[in-house]
Amino acid sequence: MHATERLLEERLFHDQQADGRADRFRAPESLRFDEDDYLDHETWIRPGIARLGGVAGLDVLELGCGHAMASVVLARRGARVTAVDLSGRYLVEAGRRAEANGVALRLAQADGERLPFPDGAFDRVWGNAILHHLDLDRAADELVRLLRPGGIAVFCEPLGDNRLLEWARQRLPYPGKARTRDEKPLRFAQLETLRKRFPRMTREGHQLLGMCRRLPGGRLLGRVARPWDEWLLGRWPGLGRYSRYVVLTLPRE
């Protein structure tokens, strides 16, 4: 698919997704949220955010902000946050959520491969489930360009090396399954593209056994599996390539 066509399809998909949420988040009280509820809604969010370190007084970019709950959390912690998304409809929700939670966000509609900011504009970059939508070479070049020396980017991304998981993704029903045509989980081999620009990149797998929580009625199984995941992935971190998600920490030289 041509890049322009892909971009338009991605924008339309996420605009429609945001429109489908609009009625649920019309009232200000529906946009307010407790920080822990967001940080713990998936097992990789809290440890991923922690990899950013202290953000008070720093310039932080959320790439692919969507509903912008991470942006609100980071702004609450004292960061100057710029929230970027391809979807204008999601940015409307992001602005309303920031207002409802009493924080200020700078909002920008942009393609993650061509960002409208000067070199060295940010100390930190955060993204959840965004890199696998992008051309990794272009996205990695933008990250290097935008991060100040000593800055850190952290991304939480779905992985596609587990054949059983890929079978389940394709064949089993679960909430939030809708995807764009070109959207595919990252393969471990693709991560070397990022390592070329960020030699000190680290990878941390999440939800090896705990991926069962995505199945209907799987929340309890997910809670039971979590301590086993922590033990297995702590003892044999290489198993992380077969996890549902990976947290990537990219320190800028």
Q: How many residues does the chain have?
A: 253
Report whether pLDDT(26) > 90.
no
Average confidence (pLDDT) over 38-64: 97
* Residue with token string 């207002």: 99
Average confidence (pLDDT) over 63-85: 97
**Which residues are paired to 61 by β-bridges?**
82, 125
For the chain, percent of residues with pLDDT exceeding 70 = 96
Helices and strands (DSSP H and E) totals, the chain = 10, 7
Check residues 2 and 183 and name the one with the higher pLDDT. Answer: 183
Determine the pLDDT at residue 1: 56
- Contacts with 192 (C-beta within 8 Å, 6 or more apart), sequence order: none
Determine the pLDDT at residue 178: 67
Determine the pLDDT at residue 169: 79
Average confidence (pLDDT) over 183-210: 94
Range in 44-58, 102-116, 161-175 with the lowest mean pLDDT: 161-175
Superfamily of chain region 3-251: Vaccinia Virus protein VP39 (3.40.50.150)
- Contacts with 86 (C-beta within 8 Å, 6 or more apart), sequence order: 7, 10, 11, 14, 64, 109, 110, 111, 112
Residues 124, 75: Cα–Cα separation, whole Å: 13
* Burial grade of 170 (CB within 10 A; 0-12, 13-18, 19 or more): exposed
Average confidence (pLDDT) over 70-95: 97
Determine the pLDDT at residue 166: 85
| Mean pLDDT, all residues of the chain | 92
Report whether pLDDT(9) > 90.
no
Binned at pLDDT 50, 70 and 90, residue 211 comes out as confident
Q: Where are the domains of the chain?
A: 3-251
Average confidence (pLDDT) over 168-197: 81
Do the Cβ atoms of 96 and 24 come closer than 8 Å?
no
Report whether pLDDT(66) > 90.
yes
* Burial grade of 230 (CB within 10 A; 0-12, 13-18, 19 or more): middle
Report whether pLDDT(30) > 60.
yes
pTM recorded for the entire structure? 0.92
